[in-house]
Amino acid sequence: MTQRNTPSPREPDLGQGIEHCSRREFLKLAGLGSGALAAGGAGTGALLHSEPARAIATNARIVIVGAGAAGLGCANRLSDRLEGAEITVVDRREPHYYQPALPLVGTGVWSPSKAKDRNARYMPSDVRWVKSMVAEYDPDNNRVVTDEGETLDYDYLIVATGLELRFDQIEGMSPELIGSHGIACVYDTPEHGERSARAVQAFTREGGKGLFIRPPGDIKCAGAPLKVAMITEYLLRQNGTREQSELHYYPPDSSMFTQPDLDTFLKAYFPEQRGIDIHYHHRVKGVDAEAQRVTFESDEHGEYTESYDLLHIPPPMSAPQPVRESALAWAEGETDAGWLEVDPYSLRHRRYPNVFGAGDVCGVPISKTSASAKSMIPVVVDNLVDAIAEREPSAAYSGYTSCPLITEVGEAMLVEFNYELEMVPSFPFIDPLKPQWAAWVMERWLLHPTYNAMLRGRIS
If one asks whether residue 121 binds ligand FAD (CB under 6 A), the answer comes out as no
If one asks whether residue 102 binds ligand FAD (CB under 6 A), the answer comes out as yes
If one asks whether residue 89 binds ligand FAD (CB under 6 A), the answer comes out as no
Q: Please name the helix (run of DSSP H) or strand (run of DSSP E) that holds residue 146, with its range, or none.
A: strand 143-146
DSSP code at position 62: E
How many whole angstroms separate alpha carbon 151 and alpha carbon 21? 56
Q: Which residue is nearest to ligand FAD (CB)?
A: 68
Residue closer to ligand FAD, measured from CB, 242 or 368:
368
Q: Which stretch binds ligand FAD (CB under 6 A): 5-13, 87-95, 275-283, 329-337?
A: 87-95
Strands 86-90 and 61-65: parallel
If one asks whether residue 226 binds ligand FAD (CB under 6 A), the answer comes out as no
Q: Give the phi and the psi of residue 29 in degrees, each rounded to 5.
A: -60, -50
DSSP code at position 348: B
Q: Which stretch binds ligand FAD (CB under 6 A): 50-58, 91-99, 120-128, 198-206?
A: 91-99
Q: Give the phi and the psi of residue 429 in degrees, each rounded to 5.
A: -85, 0
**Which segments of 208-279 are extended strands (E)?**
209-213, 246-250, 276-278
Residue closer to ligand FAD, measured from CB, 118 or 391:
118
Exactly one of 42, 62, 64, 67 binds ligand FAD (CB under 6 A); that residue is 67
If one asks whether residue 320 binds ligand FAD (CB under 6 A), the answer comes out as yes
If one asks whether residue 134 binds ligand FAD (CB under 6 A), the answer comes out as yes
Q: Give the phi and the psi of residue 414 in degrees, each rounded to 5.
A: -110, 105
Exactly one of 41, 43, 103, 357 binds ligand FAD (CB under 6 A); that residue is 103
Exactly one of 357, 359, 363, 410 binds ligand FAD (CB under 6 A); that residue is 359
User: How many residues make contact with ligand FAD (CB under 6 A)?
Assistant: 35
Contacts to ligand FAD from residues 142-171, by CB under 6 A: 160-162
Provide the CA 380 distance to its chain's centre, in angstroms.
19
Residue closer to ligand FAD, measured from CB, 90 or 342:
90
How many whole angstroms separate alpha carbon 73 and alpha carbon 455? 4
Q: Which stretch binds ligand FAD (CB under 6 A): 93-101, 108-116, 241-249, 434-442?
A: 93-101
How many whole angstroms separate alpha carbon 437 and alpha carbon 411? 5
If one asks whether residue 341 binds ligand FAD (CB under 6 A), the answer comes out as no
How many whole angstroms separate alpha carbon 210 and alpha carbon 225? 13
Assess contact for 287 and 170: CB atoms under 8 A. Answer: yes
Q: Which stretch binds ligand FAD (CB under 6 A): 7-15, 324-332, 363-371, 407-415?
A: 363-371
If one asks whether residue 355 binds ligand FAD (CB under 6 A), the answer comes out as no
**Residues 6+ positions from 253 with CB-CB distance below 8 Å:** 216, 280, 281
Residue closer to ligand FAD, measured from CB, 32 or 373:
373
Exactly one of 239, 245, 346, 369 binds ligand FAD (CB under 6 A); that residue is 369
Q: Give the phi and the psi of residue 403 in degrees, each rounded to 5.
A: -140, 110
Exactly one of 93, 118, 128, 301 binds ligand FAD (CB under 6 A); that residue is 93
How many whole angstroms separate alpha carbon 373 and alpha carbon 447? 14
How many whole angstroms separate alpha carbon 317 and alpha carbon 309? 25
How many whole angstroms separate alpha carbon 230 and alpha carbon 201? 14
Exactly one of 233, 343, 360, 411 binds ligand FAD (CB under 6 A); that residue is 360
Residue closer to ligand FAD, measured from CB, 329 or 373:
373
Residue closer to ligand FAD, measured from CB, 220 or 248:
220
Write the burial class of residue 347 (CB in 10 Å: 0-12 exposed, 13-18 middle, 19+ buried).
buried
If one asks whether residue 74 binds ligand FAD (CB under 6 A), the answer comes out as no
If one asks whether residue 399 binds ligand FAD (CB under 6 A), the answer comes out as no
How many whole angstroms separate alpha carbon 362 and alpha carbon 281? 26
Contacts to ligand FAD from residues 204-223, by CB under 6 A: 220-221
Residue 420 CB neighbours (<10 A): 9
Q: Which stretch binds ligand FAD (CB under 6 A): 37-45, 86-94, 262-270, 377-385?
A: 86-94
Q: Least separation, in Å, of the C-beta of 402 and ligand FAD? A: 6
Which three-class secondary structure state does DSSP give residue 136? strand
Taking Cα atoms as reference points, which of 415, 396, 376, 426 lies closest to residue 41? 426
Q: Which stretch binds ligand FAD (CB under 6 A): 148-156, 200-208, 243-251, 370-378?
A: 370-378
Residues that bind ligand FAD (CB under 6 A): 65-71, 90-91, 93, 99-100, 102-103, 133-134, 160-162, 186-187, 220-221, 224, 320, 322, 359-361, 368-371, 373, 404
